[in-house]
Amino acid sequence: MFILLIFLPILDDIALIIGCFALFRKSGRKGWYAIIPGIREYQLGVTAEHEEEGRIYFILSACETLSEWIRACYAEGSPMWFFFFFISTALWLSASFYGIRIFLALCDLYHRPKKWVIMWFCFGGITSLIWGYNKGFQPSHMAQDGSGSNTVKESGAVAEAVTEGLTVNLENRTVIDFFRRRYLLKDIHLSIPVGRMVLLLGGSGAGKTTFLNAITGYEKANAEILLNGRNIYNNYEQMKYDLGFVPQQDLMRMGDTVFMTLSDAAGLRLPKNISAEEKKKRIDEMLEKFGLSSVKNSLVEKLSGGQRKRLSIAMEFISDPALFILDEPDSGLDGIVARRLFSSLRSIADEGKIVIVITHTPDRVIDLFDDVIVLSKDSGRTGRLAFYGSIEDSYDFFGKRSMEEILLSINQKDEGGEGRSEEFIEKYVKLITEQAV
């Protein structure tokens, strides 16, 4: 009996490994995850489609184990022993709370009564064997975790390189996230000629910022990005000033004047060998172009919202970039001011530049855009290309008459949308595949 009590926990651990090995494979995951403590608990959360709970469950369990090891270093009954005893107990209770939530989710996924939670909690090894090897225990669907599985097929397309413009052939953008590879973007191929003003449209989490970071080389992807025939990744140091990016937040010192702000920007973004006269001429051009000449001696903090945004744009445009990207430049601006701002961006594109803009209110200025890139999430929560083309063609493609309606059609139902994302991703893959034949 004494020997049985010693070996019972070991036997339960072995059963848990064997059972979870089969359970993970049944749920479309890698069986070997079951072998490693910690990863096993996390993957149970992923399998139950409660990834965040799985992370917390893993962290709390690991901290509890560490606390137990530390407690064993002190004499039983000593103050430090009691201190770590209480810490371990608190961590165990917290981990148990998240474990129960995961087990409840597993019951829902496998259509089992909630009473199975007690079995999971008290006899995890035996329970995992039953769930893993009983053919009657089947999940209602495979867990989706952003790993890139169970998604719309890839197009296999390659965008033809343009000597004057931007060419994007992005196979994928991945990150290692908590023991696994997560696909953030996949299968994005397009070419944008010079002189185009392009709207970048997509719901929350569709990968818009990741896409922009990839094409500017800020966060490299598995991709070939060409600007006017030159590879941005291979020639980043020489080309970085050909790329202008205006973030949503204005990054400038409030206590500086407009002229000082542009002077600092010129010092950072213009060639070091430029003369003082040429530098001042470029600053004056920016002041004139963006309507800031009358306030060049004003402090930044005294500017209106529209003036401050124009100054942000002027700071980036001072190096005369070939590719100009703006993230919500009209945020906080009223319709008239926003219209003037976008008209300035339209004039920049007309000078032979490429302008890509993210905005949450595109319909009020949509007549100023040439094309639209629509990014959307597939079933694996990977950002995919749902459409790229002219504004008019996008209306026909989605069967809508506004950008807001297009966005609603691809947003998930729990986001207030129609949940048709995969339908349009698949439709676009089919379209470009047919065009390539």
Domains of the chain: 2-133 (no CATH), 165-436 (3.40.50.300)
Residue ranges in the chain whose pLDDT is less than 50: 2, 4-5
Quote the pLDDT of residue 248.
Answer: 75
Quote the pLDDT of residue 394.
Answer: 97
Quote the pLDDT of residue 27.
Answer: 82
Sheet holding 165-176, edge to edge: 230-231, 222-227, 165-176, 181-193, 383-390, 371-377, 197-202, 354-358, 323-327, 243-246
Cβ pair 239, 232 in contact under 8 A: yes
Quote the pLDDT of residue 152.
Answer: 72
The whole-model pTM stands at 0.77
Cβ pair 310, 291 in contact under 8 A: yes
Measured between alpha carbons, how far is residue 191 from residues 45, 85, 244, 321, 397 in Å? 41, 62, 18, 18, 19
Cβ pair 373, 190 in contact under 8 A: yes
425: left (phi over 0), alpha (psi -120 to 50) or beta: alpha
Cβ pair 185, 383 in contact under 8 A: yes
Quote the pLDDT of residue 343.
Answer: 92
